[in-house]
Amino acid sequence: MTTARIWLVRLLSLGAVILFLWLLQTKISPALGFLDNRLIQIGLLYATLAVSLNLINGITGQFSIGHAAFYQIGAYTSAIVSIHYYRTGTIEPWVWLLLMIIVGAVAAAMAGFVVGLPSLRLRGDYLAVVTLGFGEIVRIIIQAQESLGGSYGLTVSASNSDAPLKIAPMWMFAALAIFVIAVCRNLLKTAHGLPFLAVREDELAASAMGVNTTLTKVTAFVLGAAFAGMAGALFSHYEGFITLKQFDMNQSFLILAMVVIGGTGSITGAALAGFFLYLLPESLRDLPDVSGYAVFGFAISVVIVLIVSSKTRRYVRLTSPGAGQTLFMIFGLVGVLGALFMGFWIWSQEVPRMTQFSVSVLAVGLACAMLFTRKRMPNLAGLGWIVLCFGAIIALTYPAIQGLQSNAFTSNLLGEISYRAGNLRFPLFSATLVVVMLTRPQGLLGHHEFSWDWVKKLFGLPHKSKELAG
């Protein structure tokens, strides 16, 4: 590709992004309600956080589980600067927010540098413990500082006003997500990304070949932390009030689960998982409460099915043609039909439009991936295995509930307990993570990145370039 054509493509891409942001801000966002707008904005923030962590964990091969700390540092630092220095009416709010995004990025990048230094000597679980401990240190420091709001929380306001400062143009959420994705994607498509991939694959071999592994790992932490700090600054000025609970350890595990489910090393997978895995569980808030019997009965059924399936999976031939593959393909087709029905049925329910849209998109995407790709037969068989396991869980849940109710001890323990459906988001993430790890350990997209050549290759169409690294 010539230099002129490269610049033409970049200019056209920039124009397309600007047009998209304009349509999002002026046409799409006003047509949606408050809840739908919030789902999109927070979903885009989680997509940004997932991609930023993927740069550290997936692309560079480090193991960080304290990413919410960088998110928190960016949020609190930008909030404090706004409280002390911003005066309404002196500067355009979106310009000030842009400055605060930069402030959050710098503060979080400095913290990333501090955390990145131990990564020179630590790897794997040891590095994970360091990052987890760092997140708790940040939380304890903020909790002990009354000037930072302590345990109560911090109201983000201008210096000449006590009202919460809420600056949240939709286009900035989308622009931040696109910017982070573009930087990470361009990093991998150029020679600058090769050291990161080399460190991930084999650090010793990379060092022997002249790669500066020290600089590479620290750079990954600094960049990933800076991106998370940007998201934190945007979040604090969107909410107008921030608390420690919004950045606790659960958030770190949530972001990590998004990266693993989407595909460790896949920017596309992390972004999609970050957006959709936040969006879909939010619809649970509208469902009725769930009894303790149902929760524990379902958990018992899941454990039983996982134990049995892990012992029988080795005897099931899903990738080789035969009677077994054909049988599971039938179950897979049932799963596809069920997903398409769910995508149609969701539009008749009183749920946010974004939930309806997301379920439909995922249903159609699943159907296309199962029915029209080159590996449709093993894919359908693999889906059939998941459908069969899920059916077994549902079938075992009712007798498990009956057993819990008939037992005097569990009846006294669980009889009066019920759970709000919205509070079951983390168990849902955990179950999804377990299923993905058992069926596809590399994540849904693995190391693949979205490109038209990859789509052509996936569907068996003529293509001219090789799969992108990542």
Integer Cα distance of 31 and 25 in angstroms = 10
The yes-or-no verdict on residue 347 having pLDDT over 80 is yes
Cα distances from 62 to residues 87, 224, 269, 347, in angstroms, run 41, 11, 18, 42
Of 64, 69, 216, 241, nearest in space to 153 by CA: 241
Mean pLDDT calculated for residue range 332-336 = 91
Report the number of secondary-structure helices (H) and strands (E) in the chain: 19, 4
Residues paired with 291 in a beta bridge? 418
**Confidence band (pLDDT; 50, 70, 90) for 229?**
very high
Quote the DSSP letter at residue 65.
Answer: -
Mean pLDDT calculated for residue range 134-160 = 87
Sign of CA dihedral 104, 108, 110, 111: positive
Mean pLDDT calculated for residue range 51-62 = 88
Mean pLDDT calculated for residue range 385-393 = 87
Q: Which tokens go with 92?
A: 């355009």
Integer Cα distance of 248 and 255 in angstroms = 12
The yes-or-no verdict on residue 368 having pLDDT over 60 is yes
Q: Which tokens go with 73?
A: 């540092």
Please give the biggest Cα pair distance in the chain. Answer: 77
The yes-or-no verdict on residue 468 having pLDDT over 60 is no
The yes-or-no verdict on residue 442 having pLDDT over 80 is no
Lowest mean pLDDT among 134-138, 202-206, 443-447: 443-447
**Matching residue, tokens 């058992």:** 438
Strands 241-242 and 290-291: unpaired
**Higher-confidence position of 358 and 234:** 234
* pTM, 2 dp: 0.85
Q: Where are the domains of the chain?
A: 1-31, 36-285, 290-419
End-to-end CA separation in angstroms for the chain: 21
The yes-or-no verdict on residue 456 having pLDDT over 70 is no
Quote the DSSP letter at residue 355.
Answer: H
DSSP assignment string, 337-348: HHHHHHHHHGGG
The yes-or-no verdict on residue 369 having pLDDT over 90 is no
Residue pair 156/165 in contact (Cβ under 8 Å)? The answer is yes
The yes-or-no verdict on residue 228 having pLDDT over 80 is yes
Average per-residue pLDDT for the chain: 84
Q: Which tokens go with 223?
A: 């960049």
Q: Which tokens go with 303?
A: 């454990």
Mean pLDDT calculated for residue range 38-55 = 93
> What was the pLDDT predicted at 462?
65
* CATH of the structural domain 36-285, one choice from 2.60.120, 1.10.3470, 1.10.443, 1.10.287: 1.10.3470
What percentage of residues in the chain have a pLDDT greater than 90? 24
**Confidence band (pLDDT; 50, 70, 90) for 453?**
low
The yes-or-no verdict on residue 350 having pLDDT over 90 is no
Mean pLDDT calculated for residue range 320-343 = 87
Lowest mean pLDDT among 24-33, 206-215, 227-236, 253-262: 206-215
The yes-or-no verdict on residue 190 having pLDDT over 60 is yes
**Confidence band (pLDDT; 50, 70, 90) for 243?**
very high
The yes-or-no verdict on residue 245 having pLDDT over 70 is yes
Could you tell me what percentage of the chain is helix, strand and coil, using 3-state DSSP and rounding each to the nearest 5? 75, 0, 20
> What was the pLDDT predicted at 461?
63
Lowest mean pLDDT among 68-72, 86-90, 385-389, 454-458: 454-458
pLDDT in tens, 72-88: 999 999 999 999 888 88
Burial 55-77 (b: 16+ CB within 10 A, else e): bbbbbbbbbbbbbbbbbbbbbbb
> What was the pLDDT predicted at 3?
75
Sign of CA dihedral 119, 180, 85, 34: negative
**Confidence band (pLDDT; 50, 70, 90) for 469?**
very low
Residue pair 188/270 in contact (Cβ under 8 Å)? The answer is no
